[in-house]
Amino acid sequence: MTDYLHTTLSENEVFGMSMLALAHVGDAVFDLLVRASESARGVATAKNLHRNTVSRVSANAQAGAVDKILPHLTEREADVFRRGKNAKVHKIPKGASHETYHKATALECLFGYLYLTGDYTRLNEIFDIIIK
């Protein structure tokens, strides 16, 4: 049985993926971290959990988080971020500018990269910077 939850790929395998594939994974990882963080805070009702999560995973919130983490990125992480920001996105959702959506996509790429390379410690460090 394959352990998909702890799938670890090499740097070459991850860099062989499209940036949108990394963003796809990173979106889910970021969402899961936000949900876990909200639940750990003791927000009791499902309505409050959902409302708080949605506000923190929006493109606008993710773009805001970028400003907090950029000074803390390693050279390799900054490279992943840059590549993600330049990814060709075909549809920008209403309520997000091109710049905002590209920043959010880049953040998701970074989270996908860290998750798929198995760098969970660094993933948590960066998420910790975002939520503080």
Residues marked as catalytic:
27
Alpha helices of 58-119 — where are they, by DSSP H? 59-69, 75-85, 98-116
Question: Which candidate, 43, 44, 41, 27, places its Cα nearest to that of 109?
Answer: 27
- Residue burial 44-65, b: 16+ Cβ < 10 Å; e: rest: eeeeebeebbeebbbbebbbbb
Cα–Cα distance measured from residue 33 to residue 31, given in angstroms and rounded to the nearest whole number: 5
